[in-house]
Amino acid sequence: MTIYPAIDIKGGRCVRLTQGRADQETVYAENPADVAQEFRAKGSAWVHVVDLDGAFAGEPQNLRAIQAIAAVGLKVQLGGGLRTRAAVEKALGLGVARAVIGTRAAESEAFVGELVQAFGDRIAVGIDAKNGQVAVKGWVSTVGTGALDLARSMDRLGVATIIHTDIGTDGMLTGPNFPAQEAMLAAGKFRVIASGGVSRREDVVKLAELARGHANLDGVIVGKALYEKRVELSDLLRLASAPAR
């Protein structure tokens, strides 16, 4: 199982939002690349980056910061505002390893299918769910589509990776929504990256146990718990790589 430490960028700085709310912002670092360097020093291979300004504006806004993170040497998984092919191509050209399509995936299967044909498993789909319904545009609105229904549609298109975020737990440090994640794991052949609510070491232990029974649980995104020093990245990386007992 892969641990994806998270960097959310707003105004060029590393921040965290509570439940995606722009008015609930905490700034953790002025330079996101410095945070990425710390993650790499502790042994991480990946970093999950969200361009929050891009998510709200509809196109990437922090490309300079993203390029600086990629230059650190981590594999970058990027979401936020990637709603055109040109934006995706630009991000991949900056060194991003995997582009995450969110809002547009809920709007256009054809768009996702075109990207999968062109870029294969470098394309992931982010499904952000609020009470089981898909939320879009920086989580400010929901569409009349169930998260599992969207996942099944993406599976038919050949999407290799789904990032499933439970908005109700994101940034709340209350623990993941395990039933929702298990339901997503059963919805298709795609790999699932769980996101939202990790608050303590035991949450990752439980996800690692879940991964042993579900080969398609690829990993977990950890954000606020790292910044609030509730968990230690090097410890989580050891947990995630430990062989099954």
CB 49, CB 79: distance < 8 Å? yes
Please report the pLDDT score of residue 227 as a whole number: 96
Six token digits for residue 106: 């809920």
Annotated active-site residue in 8, 51, 203, 218: 8
* Calpha distance 39→59 (Å, rounded): 26
Please report the pLDDT score of residue 15 as a whole number: 96
What one-character-per-residue DSSP string does 198-241 give?
--SHHHHHHHHHHHHH-TTEEEEEE-HHHHTTSS-HHHHHHHHH
Please report the pLDDT score of residue 25 as a whole number: 87
pLDDT in tens, 21-53: 777 889 999 999 999 999 999 999 999 999 999
pLDDT in tens, 44-86: 999 999 999 998 899 999 999 999 999 999 999 999 999 999 9
Domain boundaries, the chain: 2-238
Please report the pLDDT score of residue 140 as a whole number: 58
Contacts of 35 (CB under 8 A, 6+ apart): 7, 14, 28, 29
Annotated active-site residue in 23, 34, 53, 128: 128
Band (136; pLDDT cuts 50, 70, 90)? confident
Task: Based on the residue annotation, tell me whether 34 is a catalytic residue of this protein.
Answer: no
Please report the pLDDT score of residue 21 as a whole number: 74
* CATH code for the structural domain at 2-238: 3.20.20.70
Please report the pLDDT score of residue 167 as a whole number: 85
* Calpha distance 148→238 (Å, rounded): 31
Assign 70 to helix, strand or coil. Answer: helix
Please report the pLDDT score of residue 139 as a whole number: 60
Q: Which residue has the higher pLDDT, 219 or 245?
A: 219
Task: Based on the residue annotation, tell me whether 128 is a catalytic residue of this protein.
Answer: yes
Per-residue pLDDT, averaged over 132-150, amounts to: 80
Please report the pLDDT score of residue 142 as a whole number: 66
Main-chain dihedrals φ then ψ at residue 6, nearest 5 degrees: -110, 140
Please report the pLDDT score of residue 172 as a whole number: 64
CB 221, CB 2: distance < 8 Å? no
Q: Which residue has the higher pLDDT, 133 or 138?
A: 133
* Calpha distance 163→179 (Å, rounded): 15
